[in-house]
């Protein structure tokens, strides 16, 4: 998910959460209706914080790099990364993906084949 979309989801979730709290503090019949905005808002904020673009390294995610083919990384990988025989088909894009691993750290990265 793009950084802007994540930020927008978090903002909407925060507004829903705060409006739900405001309804709860009013008391009376309106108080029970505040539970739904709180639950939905909290869910949106959690999704915005925890969602990551699939098959990407933390460095690529933090730098907001565009995803490569199949959602993996594009370009060359640093020397410690070696290709493995592990291949799988990305269920969303249908692209064949190869797993690359850094044997020192165990970090895995994914690149589209072909």
Q: pLDDT by residue (tens digit) across 25-41?
A: 888 877 888 899 999 99
Q: What is the mean pLDDT of the chain?
A: 82
Compute the distance between CA of residue 11 and CA of residue 43 in angstroms, rounded to an integer. Answer: 12
- pTM, entire model: 0.52
Compute the distance between CA of residue 22 and CA of residue 16 in angstroms, rounded to an integer. Answer: 10
Contact 95, 70 (CB under 8 A): yes
Contact 68, 75 (CB under 8 A): yes
């Amino acid at each position: 998910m793009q950084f802007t979309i994540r930020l927008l989801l978090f903002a909407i979730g925060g507004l829903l959460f705060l409006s739900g709290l405001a309804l709860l503090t009013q008391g009376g019949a309106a108080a029970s209706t505040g539970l739904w905005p709180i639950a939905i808002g909290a869910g949106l904020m959690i999704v915005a914080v925890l969602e990551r673009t699939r098959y990407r390294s933390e460095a690529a995610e933090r730098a907001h790099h565009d995803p490569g083919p199949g959602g993996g990384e594009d370009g060359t990988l640093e020397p410690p990364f070696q290709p493995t025989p592990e291949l799988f088909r990305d269920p969303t894009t249908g692209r064949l993906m190869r797993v690359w691993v850094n044997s020192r750290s165990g970090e895995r990265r994914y690149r589209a084949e072909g």
